[in-house]
Amino acid sequence: MATQDTLFIQTFYDGEPGEKLAVARRLFDELTDLSTSPVFMDQLEEIRRHSQSLNAHMQAMDLGRLCSQCASRPGGGCCSAFMAGNTDAIQVLINLLLGATVTAHPDNGENCCFLGPQGCCFPVKPIFCLNYNCTHILEFAEPEQLHTLYRLAAAVLSQQTRIEFLLHEELRRRGRKATRPLTGECSPNR
């Protein structure tokens, strides 16, 4: 069964970015009743709060300006086409559940297909992107700002891992046609 579980879970991490988005949309449609689970919705609100705090801090650090300048230079910024591979269907699903509009732009061979005119379309980014602090940021920021950045990113990551676990459990259970109702039972400690 462990092997079947591994294969089942692996399907959410395979494929091209557009395929992962298609899988995430299908899962989103299948999981609409999660909105009736107070426990799951609480967890979702928690990551929304953490993500908003992180984004507010990044704005206060003026990282948008730094990244815009970087992206306009030859060679561009770090949101390359290759980096789009760091997404997975569960991370995209979390963003859909948060109400984000997720679009995979046609692959131009340069930029990440999830990079739009307003920047990354994900409030909750792939883990690699979330943890990525380039030398420009490390040189630009004050130590205290960096400390806060790491702390807030860790809070998002921790909650992201928690929700990912809940979704894996939920999808496994539905895959096995379990009969227990959903509402209120998305306990991470189960």
Q: Which is nearer to ligand SF4, 134 or 178 (CB)?
A: 134
Q: Which is nearer to ligand SF4, 78 or 154 (CB)?
A: 78
Long-range contacts of residues 114-120, Cβ cutoff 8 Å, at least 24 apart: 114/17, 114/84, 114/87, 115/79, 119/64, 119/67, 120/79
Query: Shortest distance, CB of residue 136 to ligand SF4, whole angstroms?
Result: 4
Query: Shortest distance, CB of residue 66 to ligand SF4, whole angstroms?
Result: 5
Which residues would be at the binding site for ligand SF4 (CB under 6 A)?
66-67, 70-71, 77-79, 83-84, 87, 112, 114-115, 120, 122, 125-126, 129, 134, 136-137
Q: Which is nearer to ligand SF4, 60 or 134 (CB)?
A: 134
What DSSP character marks residue 111? B
Q: Which is nearer to ligand SF4, 141 or 182 (CB)?
A: 141
